[in-house]
Structure 1
Amino acid sequence: MTNLPQLTDALLTLEDGVAVLTLNRHDLRNALTGSNLIDDIVTTAEWVNHCQDVSVLVITGAGSAFSAGGNVRDMANRSGDFAGDPAECAERYRKGIQRIPLAMQAVEVPVIAAVNGPAIGAGFDLANMADIRIAADSAKFGETFLNLGIIPGDGGAWFMQRLIGYQRAFELTLTGRIVDAAEARELGIVMDVVPGEELMPAALKMANKMANQPPKATRLTKRLMKMAQRTELKDFLDICACFQGMCHNEPEHLDAVNRMLEAMARK
C-alpha cells in the first residue's frame, strides 16, 4: 500500500492512480497564507513526482471556496507572511508562497483543478498552474492583487498570459475584475463548466481516462508539452527522439500494442 505524506491543512487520497488533494481550511476560505496550505501543496507536488503509483493529480477545495488566495487580515496587520521591511517581506515570498509555482511547474503528471467556488488572487493563480481547469457553475475568478495595492507576487502574471494571451491577461490583471464561470470558459481560463454536484465526477472521469494511459509515457508526454513552450523545434525533435527510444523499450508500450492488436482482431 502506498504511503501518503502527512498533511496539516489539506486532505489527500489515492485511488486507481488518481490522487486528490483537497484544500481543507474552509474557515479561511482556503487562503494559502496564514495556513499550512503552502507546505501541504509543495509536499504533495514533490510526493507525486516520487510516487510511481500516481498518474494524475486533482486539486480542489473543501467548503464554498477553491481558494481566497492571500489572508487579507494578515495583510492589514502586517503579520505572518506579510511582516517585515521590504527585504524581509521579499524573502518571505521567496521562502513562502513562491514555492508553490516552482513545485507545480515541476509536477510530472497531469494536474486537473476542480474549481468548486471562488478562486481569487493567489487562489486563481493556483488554478492556472494546473494543466486543465474544470469549474462548478458557482465558481468565480479574479486576479485581484491591484485592488489591494500589490502585484501578483506568486507568479500569476507569468501563468495567465500563457493560458489566455497577453491582452486578455493584462485586462483582467489591471482591472482586478472578477469573472463568473461562464465568462471564464469563454476566455479560455476553464475548459468546462458543470453544476456543482457534478464537478468532482466530471474531474475524476477525465482523471481516470488519463490514469488509464501508460504511466511512464504519460509523464514523458507532459514533460514534452512543457518543454515545447521554451525549446526550438530542432532541439525539441532531438528530445522527442530520445524519449521515443525510451518508450519503445518499455514493457508498457508492448502491452498497449498487444491490446490494440487484440481489439482489432475482435472486429
Structure 2
Amino acid sequence: MTDSVKYEQDGGVVTLTLNEPDTRNALSPAIVDAIEAHCARINKDMSVSCVIVTGAGDSFSSGGNVKEMRDRSGAMFGGIPAEVRRGYQHGIQRIPLAMYNLEVPAIAAVNGFAIGAGCDLTLMCDIRIAADDAQFAESFMRVGLVSGDGGAWFLPRVVGLSRAYEMTFTGNFIKAEQALAWGLASYVVPKESLLDEARKMARQIAAQPPHSIRLCKKLVRDSAAISLPTHLEIASGMQALAQHTADQHEAVSAFLDKRKPAFKGA
C-alpha cells in the first residue's frame, strides 16, 4: 500500500505529494491524518526550511468525496447534525489548523484541478505556482454546500473580498492565466516543468537561515490579525531572537566577506 501523502526530503526542502490519484486526491481521512502528522514532523525538524505540496496524477485535489455527499455517509456527511459538526472538527478542519501552524513556508505546485477543499488547500499554502493546465474552483455552491474547511477565511486574504465573493457565489472555474491575473497564482509555468520551478523556488527559500525563515513566516502571518503597536512589539522580540543566532552572525559575515554563507540551524 502506498502512503496517502508521500514525504520526500531533498536538503532543506520537503515535497508532500497527495497520493490517491484514483479519487483525484480527494481529501480522505488518510490524507487528513497524513498532512497533520507531516506538518507536526516538519515543525520539529530544523533541517526543513520549505515545503512543496502537490498532487499525484493529473489533479492537485478534487476536494470532498461527492459520493459520500450523495449517500450522506462518512464522518462529514453521515449522522445527525451534531455528529456532522464533530466530523468536520475532528476531520478535514485539522488540515487548515495544521497548515496555518506550519512553521516553514509552503509552496502549492498546482497541477490540473484544485476544486472545493482542494482549492482551499492551495490557499493554505503561502505561495502558489500553477501549471498552465491548472484550474481552481471554489465549487461548494455546485453541490449546495458552504466551505466547511476554512476556505472562506483564506480566500479573501488571497484574492480580495470582491473576487472571493465572485468565486464563492458562482463556483466558476478559474484557469491558470486568470488565476495569475487575480493573484491566486504567483506564476504559471508549463506543466512539464511545474515541480522543477517549485523546487527552484523552494531551494532559494531553504537557503536562508533556518531560524530566521521560521520567525519571518510567523511575523508576516500573524500581522493580519493584530494592531501595528502589537506587531512592532512582536517584531522587536523576534529580532532579538534572530540576532542571537549563530546563523545571523554567519549571514552578516558572509555578506561582508562576499562569500556564500554556511548555515547550521544554530
> TM-score by structure 1 length?
0.94
Q: 2:201 aligns with which of 194, 197, 206?
A: 206
Q: 1:69 aligns with which of 63, 68, 84?
A: 63
Q: Secondary structure at the match of 2:60?
A: coil
Q: Which residue of 1 aligns with 2:38?
A: 44
What's the RMSD between the two structures over aligned residues?
1.1
CA drift at 1:77: 1.3
Query: Structure 1, residues 86-136: CA drift from partner, whole Å, max 9, x if none?
Result: 111111001000010011000010000000110000000000000000000
What is the 5 A alignment of 1:18-37? Answer: 18-33=13-28, 35-37=29-31
CA drift at 1:8: 3.3
Query: Structure 1, residues 125-167: CA drift from partner, whole Å, max 9, x if none?
Result: 0000000000001110000101101100001110000111111
For structure 1, which segment, 71-80 or 102-111, has the greater mean C-alpha deviation from structure 2 after superposition? 71-80
CA drift at 1:197: 0.8
1:129 aligns with 2:133: no
CA drift at 1:179: 1.1
1:220 aligns with 2:215: yes
Q: Secondary structure at the match of 1:14?
A: strand
Q: 2:5 aligns with which of 10, 14, 17?
A: 10
Q: Which residue of 2 aligns with 1:117?
A: 112
Q: Secondary structure at the match of 2:25?
A: coil
Q: Secondary structure at the match of 1:36?
A: helix
Q: Distance in 2 between matches of 1:241 and 1:8?
A: 42
Give aligned-pair identity as a percent.
45
1:78 aligns with 2:72: yes
Q: Which residue of 2 aligns with 1:3?
A: none
CA drift at 1:180: 0.7
Q: Which residue of 2 aligns with 1:88?
A: 83
Q: Distance in 2 between matches of 1:136 and 1:249?
A: 41
Query: Structure 1, residues 38-86: CA drift from partner, whole Å, max 9, x if none?
Result: 1111111111111111100100000000000001111111111311111
Q: 1:60 aligns with which of 47, 51, 54?
A: 54
1:106 aligns with 2:77: no
The ranges of structure 1 where at least 4 consecutive aligned residues each deviate by more than 2 angstroms after the TM superposition are none
Report how many aligned residue pairs link the two structures: 257
> TM-score by structure 2 length?
0.95
Q: Which residue of 1 aligns with 2:141?
A: 146
Q: Which residue of 2 aligns with 1:167?
A: 162
Give unpaired runs (5+ residues) of structure 2: 260-266
CA drift at 1:235: 1.3
Give unpaired runs (5+ residues) of structure 1: 1-6
Q: Distance in 2 between matches of 1:189 and 1:32?
A: 21
Q: Distance in 2 between matches of 1:101 and 1:10?
A: 16
